[in-house]
Structure 1
Amino acid sequence: MANRERCIRVLFVCLGNICRSPTAEGVFRSKVAQAGLAEHILIDSCGTGDWHVGQPPDPGARRAAADRGLSLDDLRARQLDDSDFERFDWILAMDSANLRDIKRRSPPHARARIALFLPFAPRLDVTDVPDPYGEGNEAFDQVYALVDQASDAFLNELQRMAPWQA
């Protein structure tokens, strides 16, 4: 593993950590691996709520990912922890409501940059990843498509920063 000071640590956050944020974790992890940067970019996901702690991603999220050759089966939901504000460089919210909650919980001198995920891909012209929980396959496919495009844009942003090349 590369020097952890030269790693970028990214945390994706939604409400329950079973739909949107594990999809983002899986998609982004795959793109980082394809770019050969897995030892430089560490990725995790969590939820602001505790309802699903320890559970695997929603079957709809797993199906949408599997249809595209990606497995989310090893992921398990966890809740945002106070230590996350120091452990991660980026905390990326899937929607505005969770962004407000994350910012409210953030300590005054948190290390992490807290932001919405989708605005990294402004051509999407949407800021919130819609919550597909309890919806059908189309909703999970839409989440996957949005996350896929935003992951490309965010990875490009991180590659421009490239602290591992310093």
Structure 2
Amino acid sequence: MTNILFICHGNICRSTMAEFVMKDIVKKAGMEKDFYIQYRATHRDELGSDTYWGTKDKLDKEGIPYTKRKATLMTKEDYDKYDYILGMDDENMRYIAKIIGSDPYHKVYMLMDFAGEHRSIADPWYTGNFDATFDDVMGGCQGLFQHITK
């Protein structure tokens, strides 16, 4: 089983979008039982909140199912539980490092690394551009899936 953890600031926009996009990719590949996919926040701002309405709206438009969930905070123990820990931007990466300390097993990446670009995914909470965020998340998730299954 491959365990994947998506991380963003508040765990209501990008990490949840990535969670549901990745779950859809593995389901369509018939590999649901081979993956465990979760999400976390680096900050407490939105703990307990459900997925942001803009993310839900974009997922609806793309035909990607989602479920009700609650934002949760990343912990140091998550490092031992997951094979891939994926941040969305440079700030996330700094906070992930503060939470886990070192990364001796090289589990921590920016999601866009798997799309062939080492860069941030813009936070649609601030930009309002859920289309651009979705395109980046989809590219990163597709690349991650290809990396894992090759």
TM-score computed with the length of structure 2 as normaliser: 0.92
SS of the residue 2:40 aligns to: strand
Q: Distance in 2 between matches of 1:57 and 1:83?
A: 24
Matched letter for residue 41 of structure 1: F
Distance 2:132 2:29 in 1: 24
CA spacing shift, 1:51–1:112, aligned 2, 3 Å: farther
Shift of 1:41: 1.1
Q: Which amino acid aligns with 2:79?
A: F
| Alignment correspondent of 1:97 | 91
1:37 corresponds to 2:35 = no
Mark the structure with the bigger radius of gyration: 1
Q: Which of 141, 145, 148 is the equivalent residue of 1:155?
A: 145
Which deviations, in whole Å up to 9, do the C-alpha atoms of 1:81-124 show, x marking residues without a partner? 121111111100011111111012214476560111101111xx
Aligned mates of 1:56, 1:100 — CA distance in 2: 24
In structure 2, stretches of 5+ residues that fail to align are none
- Residue 132 of structure 2: which of 126, 142, 163 is its match? 142
* Corresponding position: 1:115 with 2:105: no
Alignment: residue pair count: 150
Q: What amino acid maps onto 2:53 in structure 1?
A: P
Tell which deviates more after alignment, 90-99 or 73-82.
73-82
Q: Which amino acid aligns with 1:92?
A: L
What's the RMSD between the two structures over aligned residues? 1.6
Give the drift of 1:78. 0.7
| Residue 82 of structure 2 corresponds to residue 88 of structure 1 | yes
Using structure 1 for the length normalisation, give the TM-score. Answer: 0.84
Over residues 132-165 of structure 1, what are the superposed CA-to-partner deviations in whole Å (9 max), with x where a residue is unaligned?
A: 11443xx1111111111111111000002xxxxx
In structure 1, distance between residues paired with 2:7 and 2:28: 23
Secondary structure class of the residue paired with 1:120: helix
For residue 125 of structure 2, what is the aligned residue in structure 1?
A: 133
User: 8 Å contact 2:75–2:99 — kept in the other structure?
Assistant: no
Q: For 2:75, what is the secondary structure of its paired residue?
A: coil
Unaligned 5+ runs, structure 1: 1-6, 161-166
Matches of 1:21 and 1:74 in 2, distance apart? 14
Aligned identity (percent) is 25
Cα pair 1:12 1:45 within 8 Å, conserved: yes
Alpha-carbon distance between aligned partners in 2 of 1:81 and 1:106, rounded to the nearest angstrom: 7
Counterpart in 1 of 2:50?
A: 56
* 2:110/2:118 contact within 8 Å kept: no
